[in-house]
Amino acid sequence: MKHRWPFHCPTVWPPTILVALFFVVYGLLTSGLWFLQLRFVTVAGDLSGLPEIKQLHQVILGGAAFIYAVYRLARFHPACHWTYAAWLKLSPWTPNQPLPLGPVHPVWQDAAVIGVLTAIAEWHAHVDPALPAVAFGLSYLIVMTGLLAMTRQWPAFLMLGFLWPALMLPDVEGWPGVVLLVAIVLVIWLGHRRSLRAFPWPFLDQPNRLKAPGGKSDLKIEIRVAGRDW
């Protein structure tokens, strides 16, 4: 069966609670600045241009991208969701098929989410628009590195142990840094594919690992995936 790499998945959109939390936090900062500007009419200049306010915007936007990256992997990677992994182990799924609940790899919806944060950074917060993409990308790659260790992909993990520190060397700025980053992405992706081919992972067989909340057996857990019959 030819393997398909879908880059569309409607289930990867961030949950409503995370979206609401971001806009509440960002809205409180924006409305607070507007109120101060309106209340103290003698204040000269735009308060949003102050270095401290720009740093707050950077923290909020970078933090939102970081949380989204962690959510993506925690929600869709089987190693982060043991009940899902247990169900997957008993299902007819094979590594030649897409993961049933949604892809671990980035899809266009991820680009849309980061694009919104980038637009806010560029046209409203007036901070570096690359910040959300960098925060998301680094967070995603770092967590994926940890998941390679969790799934016992030691060759890829050890190779990354040399590649990540190499990024901090002073002589890797510019194209050498880009080449190193591409190498990190390739090693992580190949390691991830090897981890799926090695599924089920040894740690899934440990006692009490596959118990669902409330003590229910995973044989009684039903996972519904729209558009798929398992």
pTM of this structure: 0.83
Domains in the chain: boundaries: 10-152+198-220
- The predicted-structure confidence for 127-144, as pLDDT tens digits, reads as follows 999 999 999 999 999 999
Is the predicted pLDDT of residue 51 greater than 90, yes or no?
Answer: no
Instruction: Tell me the C-alpha distance between 208 and 203, whole Å.
Output: 11
Neighbouring residues of 48: CB distance < 8 A, sequence distance ≥ 6: 33, 54, 57, 125, 126
**Taking residues 208-229, what's their average pLDDT?**
47
Residue 68: enclosing H or E segment and its boundaries? helix 51-76
> pLDDT value at position 221?
45
**Taking residues 44-59, what's their average pLDDT?**
80
> pLDDT value at position 82?
83
- The predicted-structure confidence for 185-210, as pLDDT tens digits, reads as follows 999 999 999 999 999 888 777 654 44
**Taking residues 7-19, what's their average pLDDT?**
88
